[in-house]
Structure 1
């Protein structure tokens, strides 16, 4: 059998093994890297991303995705040679810092024997053993700290779709619309945030209704993110990083239909900034009555309950947060974390990223549904002080049927 045939047979055994797992993506990645190595045409990261994952090197290129997949591929190879491949004559490796696949032959030849009868040899071995024990203890402590930083939260069904799925994850941040206004008489130009304007359409309507020769309105290429945005990213990074999963981040004003079609999506922000994600309310018992009011109607015959914030967001206040996990338009998953004010938006996400709050919410769902539903919607009441959440309680909680068409009108 030729060396090429031996190589191909080994690759096939690895791909078909239980340790490697039944994943076409990782099988294609391994075959691609092996083929490139055979022709001595070692691919670059961007080449792998473009050929295997359809990434656009010119726009929104996710370099982390390629590294994560190759990292996991190395682990799958290690698992194979530790289990089914223990007796293989050759080992396949992908050295760090390279995408070249190396086939290393196992060999015990050339090893020199060491006499244990020599006192100097025994002393040397004893010293090396002591050093090894000390170093192992140091690295064990260090690795334990690293593992603790990885395992930030326990395994939870809330995030299974995002962690275990091969579809890329897109985190969408609710940004606030801002625009410019220039006084043609004084020449003064200012940037304005108008709470009544949260989209291009509303901005165009506003300009039409407020046409004035003394004022010139202008668009901006940037938007405004609220203070809690960094906390949201930190919470999600802990979840995904601990599971070696990457994600892209974008603001709501910069996404389109294709993004919603191609990704598993996490939206976080005030409900008035959710944009097209607010289409969800077309087929929910909840409704977004206006920017400051959420409604709930248990059935067509019942009255609509209205929920609006109370107090001053910069002082003690009560806010309402809304969370919905529901199927997207392309067998993907959408997780929406909203709030009427930013206090509840932050607490809504915290309920699904803090270990203690996760456990509490899981228990409530099991008590009500006898399971943790794959899709659900929850309304939270949140008490806060100076835009910081203090405590929370569930007001309403419903299971969502997978076949519900949340993107169609009633």
Structure 2
């Protein structure tokens, strides 16, 4: 007796031909006869089938027999579809060849034009009857994504990814994060030289710098000691800064602008302790005569103190005590100290000291460069929030600057 096999994802049914109608009904009842015919005709209108009249006619014939529940055998197809019986008792080769060609065309169609069809017409290998199978969503997607048709989608995805990444919030370097909080006020204090007006050494009116006079209070104290200066001098209405102040401001403004933040600028000589404690502070300038910022440095540093002309390091459990003189400099070398420390009311301080312009310029340039500061953080800080570091800054004629790290102590 002729037998017919029907396969399902989770069940295999092996029955004889007399149960063909029952099995057909069980496995295709989700799709009506009208929908089956519509599906068949839609396939036959495709480019894949338009130039294959024999395969088209054979598919229409097999779909009709499936809907009718008719027996489908090789000799029946030979008689009903091809119109005569085979010339020998052997199986007809033309039936097998044409069904093979039809099966291949269906597979080609589902890989191209029919990639997104929900329903498939299948002819299992070794069989002649058709069955209607609902394609899984995952299979439809896999079929749809081919090298040929995925190129425009991949290109679109790359463009979208580029714009998404470009518009992601720019994350600031970790050691600067506290300065980019919206609720925080940032102030850059530039170390300047306070001067007085009067006769200069040339006998003409001009501006004079006295390192013992750091601000207007010091000037009035001088007048108390030397009242004769009252008639020939007066406080200056301007301050003197070197190129260090301008270059540091430029580098810091570039960094802050990148993260939509800003800061105000004040001269250190005209700033009080109350001014310093209003928010986050950045100081750039010399060691000498900057008692306000040296006091902050000494108060908040657990291991470092600035004492006279010395940087004193002590009390660390793993590193020996040492003293470094910050007057140890030459024409092509300057010593610089950079310290990120806490200050009152949950504020932050970033202090850049050096003897001359060279040290501050080099360290500001280094610590406002995102790549170098990221590398510094990774190499030295190990997740710590605060630190003090000491550098030698080198540069011929105080240009072409480079840094040599002497110490970095995080805490």
What is the TM-score normalised by the length of structure 1?
Answer: 0.52
> What are the within-5 Å matches in structure 2 for residues 354-393 of structure 1?
354-366=369-381, 370-371=382-383, 373-388=384-399, 390-393=401-404
Which digits, 9 at most, give the CA deviation of each residue in 1:72-124, with x for residues without a partner? xxxxxxxxxxxxxxxxxxxxxxxxxxxxxxxxxxxxxxxxxxxxxxxxxxxxx
Residue among 298, 303, 309 paired with 2:314: 298
Match in the other structure for 2:363: 348
Q: Determine whether 1:174 maps to 2:191.
A: yes
Alignment correspondent of 1:333 = 348
**How far 1:216 sits from its partner (Å)?**
2.6
SS at match of 2:193: coil
Unpaired runs of 5+ residues, structure 2, are 1-158
Give 3-state SS (helix, strand or coil) of 1:363's partner.
helix
Moved more, 275-284 or 227-236: 275-284
Matched, 1:249 2:260: no
Q: Secondary structure at the match of 2:288?
A: helix
Larger radius of gyration: 2
Residue 172 (structure 2) pairs with residue 161 (structure 1): no
State whether residues 180 and 192 of structure 1, in contact with CA within 8 Å, keep that contact through their aligned partners in structure 2: yes
Q: After the TM superposition, which residues 70-89 of structure 1 pair with which residues of structure 2 at under 5 Å, given as runs?
A: none
Distance 1:384 1:209, change over 3 A: farther
Of 184, 203, 224, the match for 2:240? 224
| 1:350 positional shift | 1.7
For residues 161-206 of structure 1, the C-alpha deviation after alignment (integer angstroms, 9 at most, x for no partner) is 01134212111111111112338xx973221123443334544455
1:307 to 2:319 alignment: no
CA distance in 2, matches of 1:214, 1:176: 21
Relative distance call for 1:386 and 1:222 in structure 2 (3 A) is: same
Can you list the C-alpha shifts for 1:322-341, whole angstroms capped at 9, x where unaligned?
11112222221111111121
Deviations 1:328-369 (A, max 9, x none): 222211111111212111122122112342133123314xxx
Cα distance, 1:228 vs. partner? Answer: 2.2
**SS where residue 172 of structure 2 aligns?**
coil
State the superposition RMSD in angstroms.
3.5
User: Who is 1:48 aligned against?
Assistant: none
Answer yes or no: is the 8 Å Cα contact 1:169–1:247 preserved in 2. yes
User: Aligned partners of 2:229, 2:240: CA distance in 1, in Å?
Assistant: 27
Tell me how far apart the structure 1 counterparts of residues 210 and 236 of structure 2 sit (CA, whole Å): 14
TM-score, length of structure 2 as denominator length: 0.52
* Residue number among 267, 271, 274 corresponding to 2:283 in the alignment: 267
- From 338, 344, 357, the equivalent of 1:323 is 338
Determine the structure 1 residue equivalent to 2:101: none
